[in-house]
Amino acid sequence: MDLDSLYQDVILDHYKNPHHKGEPSGEFKVHHVNPSCGDEITLSVTLTAGQVSDVTWNGVGCSISQASASIMSDLVVGRTSQDAFAILDEFTSLMQSKGTLVGNEEVLEDAIALSGVSKFPARVKCALLGWMAFKDAAIQNGAKA
């Protein structure tokens, strides 16, 4: 199996069986849309003593946007908001690299599967949608960026 098809499997698994998906119930709820593709996400973050104790999201859209939100939720829950933002920065750099970066797998884990998206500028917003929603909700919740 080559790497591309392996990555496809990771994305499809998250798309078909998304993690942390449900009715967002936290106090700080955001709604983000990606008009160029039609992706939408509603997301809430719960911070407890500076730690991301919960992320819940609901959304519709392409497999990239939905899988990316699932992967992001897995990565940030249980981390301090500073650590979560560091992962977010790493992922944002990878997405904006136009295929020139490979990404740090130790930091990004399953999100590495999305690295190929950076070669397709039209899809980068799909991949970043959930991450930007998380950042927005966390900052509204008092996290320092």
- The contact set with Zn ion (CB under 5 A) reads 37, 39, 61-62, 65, 126
Q: Give the nearest distance from C-beta 34 to Zn ion in angstroms.
A: 6
Report the C-alpha gap between 110 and 87 in whole angstroms. Answer: 12
Between 68 and 81, name the residue whose CB sits nearer to Zn ion. 68
Min CB(65)–Zn ion separation in Å: 4
How far apart are CB 50 and Zn ion at their closest, in Å? 32
Q: Nearest-5° angle of CA 75, CA 80, CA 83?
A: 60
**In whole angstroms, what separates CA 87 from the centre of its chain?**
10
Nearer Cβ to Zn ion (59/77):
59
CA distance 35 to 123: 12
CB 52 within 8 A of CB 64: no
- What is the side-by-side order of every strand in the sheet holding 39-48? 28-34, 39-48, 51-60
Coil/strand/helix, residue 98: coil
Q: Which one, 39 or 90, has the nearer CB to Zn ion?
A: 39
Taking the least distance from each CB to Zn ion, the nearer of 41 and 126 is 126
In whole angstroms, the minimum distance from the beta carbon of 78 to Zn ion comes to 27
